[in-house]
Amino acid sequence: PLTAGVVAVQGDVEEHADAIERAARARGHEVTVREIRESGIVPDCDLLAMPGGESTTISRLVHSEGIAAEIRDHVAAGKPLLATCAGLIVASSDPNDDRVDELGLLDVAVERNAFGRQKDSFEAPLEVEGLADDEPYPAVFIRAPAVADVDIGADDNGDEGGNGDANAEVLATWDGRPVAVRQGSVVGTAFHPELTPDSRIHGLAFFENEAASVPALENEKPATDP
Ligand code: GLN
């Protein structure tokens, strides 16, 4: 079976665990979900989710617990990471906020709380590139960030850092702002795909991203006819 990890220092952890189980089950895979509050677990994980919550708190704890470096290694090995809402802010390379110690796994700049007070939380039907079908995705935004700038990474222009040699690709926009991005094995969403029964975003991040490798799936025996 697959081992999935949900970064559980803070934020909506259970919901991600459920969504991962639903997405795996729908594709005929067994999965064990582990909650990550300390170092030493990420190296056993085939795939990772970093949930929403409060980005300053999450970034502080992943660094102080020694989880940050393990998440970077996970991504460097080409394994999938889904970073949602506060998780997207932490995974970015520019959170536009000194209180967030970013991981630099997605070469994007983000703007925290980008959708303003009146629209503190809302649901939007999103057209998302790469989903299994063309049905709009019911995206729940809660004090959500937006991507302010893509392609701030290093790889084309010779600066240091950056994730791999690809640039971040926009998968969905809302109100003219990018709200879902992918770069290599990392998918980031400004919204909360774990809060709806629709597990297509988890499916896309973990099972349908050709740039990501899931070691346990590669070792899985193809199903044989009875
Ligand atoms: N506004 C939060 C932050 O900036 C993110 C909100 C969320 O994850 N729902 O950290």
pTM of the predicted model, to two decimals? Answer: 0.92
pLDDT number for residue 222: 60
CA distances from 54 to 7, 85, 142 (A): 13, 9, 11
* 13 phi-psi bin (left φ>0, alpha ψ -120 to 50, beta other): alpha
Please tell me the distance from the alpha carbon of residue 89 to that of residue 217, in angstroms, as a whole number.
Answer: 29
Which H helix or E strand runs over 218?
helix 215-218
CA 218 / ligand 1 centre spacing (Å): 35
Q: Residue 176 corresponds to which amino acid?
A: G
Residue 100 forms part of a structural domain: yes
Residue 10 forms part of a structural domain: yes
Give the model confidence (pLDDT) of 122-150 as tens digits: 999 999 999 988 899 999 999 999 999 99
Please tell me the distance from the alpha carbon of residue 81 to that of residue 3, in angstroms, as a whole number.
Answer: 13
Residue 210 forms part of a structural domain: yes
Q: Is position 53 annotated in a ligand binding site?
A: yes
Residue 223 forms part of a structural domain: no
ipTM: 0.94
CATH code: domain of residue 60: 3.40.50.880
Which H helix or E strand runs over 187?
strand 186-189
For residue 84, the ligand 1 atom closest to its alpha carbon is: 8
Q: Is position 112 annotated in a ligand binding site?
A: yes
Please tell me the distance from the alpha carbon of residue 48 to that of residue 36, in angstroms, as a whole number.
Answer: 10
Q: Which are the contacts of 161, defined by CB distance < 8 A and separation ≥ 6?
A: 93, 104, 153, 154
Q: Residue 90 corresponds to which amino acid?
A: V
Please tell me the distance from the alpha carbon of residue 44 to that of residue 62, in angstroms, as a whole number.
Answer: 17
CB of 169 sitting under 6 A from ligand 1: no
Could you give the number of structural domains in the chain?
1
Over its length of 226 residues, how does the chain's per-residue pLDDT go in tens digits?
999 999 999 988 999 999 999 999 999 999 999 999 999 999 999 999 999 999 999 999 999 999 999 999 999 999 999 999 999 999 999 999 999 999 999 999 999 999 987 678 999 999 999 998 889 999 999 999 999 999 776 554 444 455 655 689 999 999 999 999 999 999 999 999 999 999 999 999 999 999 999 999 888 766 665 5
Longest dimension (CA), the chain: 58
Residue 172 forms part of a structural domain: yes
Please tell me the distance from the alpha carbon of residue 112 to that of residue 109, in angstroms, as a whole number.
Answer: 10
pLDDT number for residue 116: 81
Residue 56 forms part of a structural domain: yes
CB of 52 sitting under 6 A from ligand 1: yes
Q: Is position 22 annotated in a ligand binding site?
A: no
pLDDT number for residue 157: 44
Residue 145 forms part of a structural domain: yes
Q: What is the residue with the minimal CA distance to atom 1 of ligand 1?
A: 143
For residue 100, the ligand 1 atom closest to its alpha carbon is: 10
pLDDT number for residue 109: 97
pLDDT number for residue 167: 86
CA 38 / ligand 1 centre spacing (Å): 22
Residue 225 forms part of a structural domain: no
Give residue 152's domain range: 2-218
Q: Beta-carbon neighbour count of residue 146 at 10 Å?
A: 21
